[in-house]
Chain A
């Protein structure tokens, strides 16, 4: 059966195609259960989905989470704020910079620390580079899900340039731990700045090529157009954020709506597409990469001189009693850290609000009545990172 042509295929086979939102088993037809995962390539990690199927149609898809649960929140309660920093790179390992940003931001908020402007600019540059590298992994893997192998090689080729840049400044290629409470681990050098400018010059034409190579490909478009609609209202009820809600026409972006760091100083657009289908979510991410390049370019132009670490960071970090939140726009949506302190060196409570959990929680409702290959296209368009859900 050809994905994306539910009605046509159903007509050929003489069956009635269930509408999205309709439960086919209500017709009294027999259903069966199959397991997708936890070791299935389409689930990008150890996610298991219990699928109740009526032929090729999904009656009910129940994600089963927890296979890579590591209890980061408990770890937060038995080590100091600074000792928890490396954990923040290991929640969503594809956008480690933004996650560390939220954690140091929450601690800095509690300590009322003023971070030097140069450090904030470099945080923005590295976070946006990280966003591009994260979107590139998604792009390659998503196309792989849909049956196209080549784009993955292009994506990893470009991503390699970003990883080299970030490795040059902090020594790590994935779990950076580059931001420190009060600033940065170290300053960037000229090699990084020149290399980043060279990357921008290199990547703009590549994005154009990706558009011609993939986005305008008719087979690819047929797999996504009109597939997996997620309305703005569904996003709101489930708390979905990031490219998922922006693909439903809502310009919700923490960088713009709940501004943090030095983002208000840059001129960039929040791409939105109101079609609400998998294609809209795809286009949001492709356009976001171009916007990230704009932000990086402006930040490099305006990069102030000065220190990259606040002057008076206490050796022993004790946050005044109370709770402190800090939200950032990670590659997959809203990531928030909620710290509860009882004025000790060790946090009383560390809550990590991750975007993938909320984004996946709508999957059961959104995938109802879809063809299995379309449901997998929908899952790919959510851009899941499983350790981000399981923590």
Chain B
């Protein structure tokens, strides 16, 4: 027992002043900050044909992220599966103002300190995306839940019926325009 314990790998990207993708350059609005040229954060998934970028784990809670086209999520899931990743969760974010639905795929690695996030955006009025349950069977329930809450249609899903909502539910409570 406990034979497979690994020493803690060094946390990636601990450069304190490094600008972080997706965040404003500086929260404190320093005048002419002495920010050097953007330090490339480690990207252990650079060899994959997806736009993965290193992220400061201490700020965000994951190591790499990629925003892909909606037709690439299955390919991304397949590549991450080959790398040994496990599916953490799938969820949506309703960007009402932009008329978009964001689908977020979280992955963790069972043997490495490595968390990956894959995102994509689809039109809010026609939220269609291909299921990844063909790659990760665990995606089945996560996609059913995301369909419950956001009305996102996962094409090719074996059983896209209400999961947590009542079996006759026709509403999607996490849509920002949902009112009771």
Contacts and interface: CB of A to CB of B under 8 A. Distances in A.
B173 A249 contact: no
Contact of B137 (A273, A351, A365, A390): A365
Interface stretch (A32-40, A148-156, A235-243, A300-308): A235-243
B113 A258 contact: yes
B15 interface: no
Contacts of A324: 59-61
A352 to B, nearest CB: 9
Contacts of A321: 23-24
A271 B1 contact: yes
A249 B2 CA distance: 9
B104 interface: yes
A71 interface: yes
Given A256-B6, A272-B2, A353 B61 contact: no
A334 B108 contact: yes
Nearest to A337: B61
A41 interface: no
Classify the interface of chain B: helix, strand, loop or mixed. loop
A50 interface: no
- Output the residue of A71, A239, A334 with the most chain B CB within 10 A: A239
A133 B42 CA distance: 40
B110 A338 contact: no
B110 A256 contact: no
Interface string A323-345: 11111000000101010100000
A318 to B, nearest CB: 11
A122 B166 CA distance: 41
Contacts of B23: 320-322
A109 interface: yes
Contacts of A273: 1
Contacts of A348: 93
A273 B93 CA distance: 39
Contact of A361 (B11, B104, B138, B173): B138
Nearest to A389: B164
Interface string A19-54: 000000000000000000000000000000000000
A357 interface: yes
Nearest to B138: A238
A351 B89 contact: yes
B121 to A, nearest CB: 13
Given A324-B60, A362-B138, A77 B6 contact: no
A353 B84 contact: no
A320 B173 CA distance: 25
Contacts of B115: 258, 325, 327
A66 interface: yes
A71 B175 CA distance: 13
A112 to B, nearest CB: 8
A391 to B, nearest CB: 7
A272 B138 contact: no
Contacts of A237: 86-87, 136-138
A340 B93 contact: yes
Q: Considering residues B91, B111, B138, which has the most beta carbons from chain A within 10 angstroms of its beta carbon? A: B138
A236 B84 CA distance: 8
A44 B103 CA distance: 33
A109 B136 contact: no
28 contacts: A65-B164, A69-B164, A73-B149, A73-B174, A77-B174, A109-B60, A232-B110, A235-B110, A236-B84, A237-B86, A237-B136, A250-B4, A251-B4, A256-B8, A258-B108, A258-B115, A259-B8, A259-B11, A269-B1, A271-B2, A320-B27, A325-B61, A326-B61, A327-B108, A327-B115, A334-B88, A338-B89, A351-B91
Given A256-B8, A391-B164, 18 more contacts: A236-B86, A238-B87, A238-B137, A239-B87, A239-B136, A251-B4, A259-B113, A270-B2, A323-B22, A324-B59, A325-B61, A336-B88, A338-B61, A349-B174, A357-B141, A357-B145, A362-B137, A365-B137
Interface of B: 1-6, 8, 11, 22-24, 27, 58-62, 84-89, 91, 93-94, 104, 106, 108, 110-113, 115, 136-138, 140-142, 145, 149, 162-166, 173-174
